[in-house]
Chains A and B, each alone.
Chain A
Amino acid sequence: MSKMLEISGLSSYYGGICALNDVSLYINEGEITSIIGSNGAGKSTLMRTVAGDKKIDSGTVLFNGSPLPESVDRVVSGGISLVPEGRRIFSSLTVRENLILGTCSRRDYKQAMADTLDEVLELFPKLRERYHQPGGTLSGGEQQMLAIGRALMARPKLLCLDEPSLGLAPIIIDEVFDKIIQLNEERGLTVLLVEQNAFLALDVAHRAYVLNTGRITLEGTGTELAENPNVQAEYLGVKTGE
């Protein structure tokens, strides 16, 4: 199995504050890789670095064997799209316009608005119903679908999802995660998923990591981590014996 993304010795700072400390991890092509960790662990920082939105202070990030480009727009056109934490929909732009923005990194955008748009609307039929409505009038779940759809319009090789379950009702969360699994199984999309909801994240993951205050402390398959007593105690709310 080939490694699509390989991070070694990555450190990242905000001013003097260290947010990521010597992080190394890899993502296999065609798999869902999850990163779990509590508030402030550095999950979003890691995602923003992978998406080219935060400068690499030290260490290397290789995407399909080559170093990550310096500017965000070239990372996006290179095939990495981020669905940011909190969705960040353009609320006064219509669903259609939000989706158009997803194609900005593509040269073949005419093609994109024909083929990819159909694929996205098929995956998220709700977006078709709301096509000409401002993004801000959508429900939280619909906005998450729109954020994912917008990222898919760029036709990424690696889709990065930063806390897609944030602020959603359980039933909607299930729906969102079903779509993520569907994207991975049916289209072979490689996914990097970051979640505070560790139960869900480990359930869908082929491989997973635990990020603890800027350091990777554990790695393994989703099942391995879900059965790890430390993970159970810290992240899954399972009471250990006694």
Chain B
Amino acid sequence: MIQILQQLVTSVSVGGLYALLAVGYALIYSVFDFTKLAFGGIMMVSAFAGYFATKLGVPTAAAMLVASAAGVLISVAVELLAYRPMRKRNANRLFLMISAMGVNIFITNLFLCLFGANLRALPTGFSSNTIALGPLRIGVVDLLSLIVSVVALVLLTFFLYRTRAGVTVRASALDMSTAGLMGIDVNRVSLIVFAISGITAAIAGMFFGMKYNVYPAMGSISNKAFIASVIGGLGSLKGAVIGGFLLGILEIMVTAYISATYRDLVSFAVMMIVLIFLPNGLFGMGDQNKL
């Protein structure tokens, strides 16, 4: 029983990170109708930025800010250099997606050339500490990552539902051309969503870096988040969060009670099964489920 609880705590914390990444997919998909497959690269670059900051003696919390700034910069840069020119020319969504894949492979290989493939541990000083909660032992990193992801998700929801700028983002997600008619500057909305998704990718990147390591190929973790957002329903905020947590729980349980070898196999199988019965995912139908 205690062992199950212990696994549950770990899985919820991984789920929180998947949820953060999945929310990034949901935001971009709901506004621009394409899946930005470059999150992995952005997450990795942010983690590297945080890693180097930490190496220079910057405290972990501040390194998180450095990573977020890097995430925002690169996410917005990719939007301005790669996607916006294509949208201006009315590119097919499929090609936007392919361009995003290209960006991802480019960034990953660039970092591979620059820094090599070796694993770098983020020197936080508390990575292996645990806190005793009754009979449970919870990793400090797990606990922190859960708290930070929940806070980030709450802030994001607050932003989308309680602020003016948030309403313009939701309106653009529902109907971009009518949003334009209202005098909403669609380019400004795009900067907002790409900046936010840069921050969520950076937070996830930092915590994955602390839990595992920082290395150029670490971005492949974001494929899991993509599965999470598909299971939840592409473009749905609620779906991304629920899908993220479900996937986190599923993976840790499979790892703990079956074998880590079967983890990805089960995740992808679940995605396929969900899609057979719910082709739009759990919450992917209708406007009321967008964002």
Name A's B-contacting residues (CB within 8 A).
51, 53, 72-73, 76-77, 82, 84, 88, 90-93, 97, 100-102, 104-105, 109, 134, 136, 150, 154
Contact = CB atoms under 8 A, between A and B. Distances in A.
Contact of B178 (A84, A100, A136): A84
Given A53-B177, A90-B175, 7 more contacts: A53-B180, A72-B180, A76-B182, A101-B168, A101-B171, A101-B184, A109-B164
Contacts of A91: 174, 287
Nearest to B178: A88
Nearest to B288: A92
A103 to B, nearest CB: 8
Interface string B177-207: 1111111110000000000000000000000
A140 B177 CA distance: 21
A225 B170 CA distance: 44
Interface in B137-188: 164, 167-168, 170-171, 174-175, 177-185
Nearest to A150: B182
Given A93-B167, A100-B167, A73 B184 contact: yes
A224 to B, nearest CB: 33
Contact of B175 (A72, A76, A88, A134): A88
Contacts of A51: 181
A136 B290 CA distance: 14
Contacts of A134: 288
Given A90-B174, A93-B167, A93-B171, A72 B181 contact: yes
28 contacts: A51-B181, A53-B181, A72-B181, A73-B180, A73-B185, A76-B181, A76-B182, A77-B183, A82-B181, A84-B178, A88-B178, A90-B171, A90-B174, A90-B175, A92-B288, A92-B290, A93-B167, A93-B170, A97-B170, A97-B171, A100-B164, A100-B167, A101-B171, A101-B184, A104-B168, A104-B183, A104-B184, A154-B182
B183 A72 contact: yes
Nearest to B286: A92
Nearest to A76: B183
B174 A101 contact: no
Interface of B: 164, 167-168, 170-171, 174-175, 177-185, 287-288, 290
Please give me the 9 A-B residue pairs with the lowest Cβ-Cβ distance, nearest first: A105-B183, A76-B183, A88-B178, A92-B288, A92-B287, A73-B183, A101-B182, A104-B184, A104-B183
Interface centre among A92, A93, A154 (most CB of B within 10 A): A92
Contacts of A102: 182
Contacts of B164: 100, 104, 109
A77 B164 CA distance: 17
B91 to A, nearest CB: 18
A90 B177 CA distance: 11
A90 B180 CA distance: 13
A109 B175 CA distance: 22
B182 A105 contact: yes
A94 to B, nearest CB: 9
B79 to A, nearest CB: 19
Nearest to B174: A90
A216 B290 CA distance: 43
Nearest to A78: B183
Contacts of B178: 84, 88, 90
B280 to A, nearest CB: 16
B233 to A, nearest CB: 14
Contacts of B288: 92, 134, 136
Contacts of A150: 182
B23 to A, nearest CB: 18
Nearest to B165: A104
A219 B194 CA distance: 50
B49 to A, nearest CB: 34
Given A100-B164, A101-B179, A109-B164, A93 B174 contact: yes
Nearest to A75: B183
Nearest to A94: B167
A77 B167 CA distance: 18
Contacts of B175: 88, 90
Interface centre among A84, A93, A154 (most CB of B within 10 A): A93
A240 to B, nearest CB: 40
Contact of B167 (A72, A82, A88, A97): A97
Contact of B183 (A84, A92, A154): A154
Contacts of A53: 177, 180-181
Contacts of A88: 175, 178, 181
A53 B177 CA distance: 9
